[in-house]
Amino acid sequence: MRHRFLDLAGLTEGRLPPSLVELRRTGRAGREGGSLDWDGYRVGSESCVHLLPDRDRLLNSGVPEGKSRTLVTPITGPSGLDRILDLAISVHQSGWGEIVVNDWGVLNELSPVAGKKITAGRLLMRLRRGPGSEHPWPCLDDDSRRYFAWGPLCDGPFLDFLAGMGITRLEVDPPRHWYPLPGLQDFRVSLHGDNRLISVSAQCPWLYHPGKDNWSITMNCEKSCLMSGPVLLHSEHLDKPLVQRGMEILEDASGSWKEEDLPPEVDRIIYSPDPSFGTVNASI
């Protein structure tokens, strides 16, 4: 049985809305069509510490009882480490079921505390993107296709290292070119069902001032990325639209995989209520 999770990460000004009823009703439907009775909810951010929710508000939020609750934590530097650890340990002690970790420093500090509640996020599990066009793919041998499709999931020593940290769940994007997922005896897998993370900026573009040719101090972040909404881009290399959301650039992956092709290790599919690619909901 596969469970559906609604991903609210980074969409609510770092805070949960007063009610999740409307998001549950209008969130992107699964492949079966119609609305979904979401099995779990994810809050937080993969890319920015400023989009993490306030701890007290999060612990007293409207996440429905009986639903799985996940905190998503971002990549960070030394300045954001304590804030992430404080929030992660708080939700761990409050009985939340999962903490997605996307930073090696956070993983090192949190694994002795949270143990098997930790999921290796997709920034730790970055997949090789492979050829941007369809043409070179048929020319690759099986080893090369496996490398580009599921690289880290084929790396035995890397997976042994994660298992030694107490991790039992991995989070990945769909590969750009489908190839059978390798067997994973010691792990379960969560798959992002509707977007593929292409890149994360080292500097937030919403804090850059061209006239001054410098970056604002991140302590003064006003979450302008959320005020303006996602920005629609176009990739000439891929010849398809991309969406920039905060420091992340995402690619629509909804048509690049089929659920019947997924192995049993993939037992969670994550959907986002982001605006659909190419619609008027995205600011151009």
Domains by residue range for the chain, with CATH? 3-195+253-271 (3.20.20)
Opening angle at CA 250, ends 53 and 45, nearest 5: 15
Residue 274: both structure tokens together: 């982001």
Question: What is the pTM assigned to this prediction?
Answer: 0.84
The Cα–Cα gap between 129 and 177 comes to 8
CB atoms within 10 A of CB 96: 20
CA 237 to chain centroid? 23
Distance CA 62, CA 47 (A): 24
In the chain, the amino acid numbered 175 is: P
Residue-level pLDDT, tens digit, the chain, 284 residues: 788 887 876 554 444 444 444 444 444 444 444 445 678 888 888 988 888 888 887 777 666 667 888 999 999 888 889 999 999 999 999 888 999 999 999 999 999 999 889 999 999 988 766 555 556 777 888 888 888 788 888 888 999 999 998 999 999 988 887 888 877 888 999 999 888 888 888 778 877 666 666 666 566 777 777 777 678 887 777 777 888 888 888 888 887 788 888 888 899 999 886 544 433 333 32
pLDDT reported for residue 217 = 59
Q: How high is the pLDDT of residue 23? A: 44
Pairing of strands 195-200, 248-252: antiparallel
